[in-house]
């Protein structure tokens, strides 16, 4: 089955990104395809490359970016939800005259159309919320 994964819960404040990762690993192991992972609402925080949890804790940010890179997953962060919350890429930083940007390169900043398109292509959309 082709799956689209929607994460709306924030890392640490919610279990959503961790549950979603476990789900994606199990789905791939069972022969399913992750068509796209889409971060929306507080879920966008997962794409912040500056997050640095203490070393004796699970680093959900690294776990996710390693998984995305190892499996060539298409991972998209909602641009409107992210910009509101201070996660931007280099283009947005230049456009809004900010001195820095902080999105991880495993994620692409794009619009809600990417979620709608993924939902059209996929067999199932699974939401992981707060």
Partner 1 sequence: MTNTKSILIYLTKAPMANSANQEAVDLALAAASFEQEVSLLFEGDASFQLIPNQTPESVGRKNLPKAFKAFPIYGIQDLYLLGNTEESLKAKIHAEHKNIIEVANNELNSLFEKFDTVIRF
Active site residues: 78
* Virtual torsion, Cα 61, 23, 6, 46, nearest 10 deg: -10
Contact call for residue 28 and partner 1 (CB under 8 A): no
34-73 positions binding partner 1, by CB under 8 A? 40-41
First CA to last CA distance, the chain: 25
Tell which one of 71, 80, 90, 95 touches partner 1 (CB under 8 A).
Answer: 80
Of 59 and 129, the one with the shorter C-beta distance to partner 1 is 129
Binder of partner 1 out of 3, 6, 37, 109 (CB under 8 A): 6
* Residue span 87-126 as binding mask against partner 1, x where in contact by CB under 8 A, dash where not: ------------------------xxx-xxx-xxx---x-
Write down the least CB distance from residue 70 to partner 1, Å: 28
- Give the one residue of 5, 8, 73, 107 binding partner 1; rule: CB under 8 A: 8
Core vs surface per residue 103-116: b (16+ CB within 10 A) or e:
bbebbebbeeebbe
Count CB-CB contacts under 10 A for residue 124.
13
Helix 16-29 with 60-70: angle, nearest 10 deg: 30
Half-sphere exposure of 53 (CA within 13 A, CB side): 13
Positions that interact with partner 1 (CB under 8 A): 6, 8, 40-41, 80-81, 84, 111-113, 115-117, 119-121, 125, 127, 129
């Amino acid at each position: 089955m082709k799956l689209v994964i929607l994460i709306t819960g924030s890392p640490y404040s919610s279990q959503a990104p961790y549950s979603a990762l476990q789900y994606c690993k199990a789905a791939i192991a069972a022969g399913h395809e992750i068509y796209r992972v889409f971060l929306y609402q507080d879920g966008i925080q997962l794409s912040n490359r500056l997050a640095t949890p203490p070393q004796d804790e699970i680093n959900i940010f690294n776990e996710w970016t390693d998984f995305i890179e190892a499996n060539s997953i298409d991972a998209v962060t909602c641009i409107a939800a992210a910009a509101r919350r201070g996660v931007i890429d280099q283009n947005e930083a230049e456009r809004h005259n900010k001195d820095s940007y902080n999105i991880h390169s495993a994620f692409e900043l794009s619009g809600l159309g990417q979620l709608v398109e993924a939902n059209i292509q996929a067999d199932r959309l699974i939401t992981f919320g707060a």
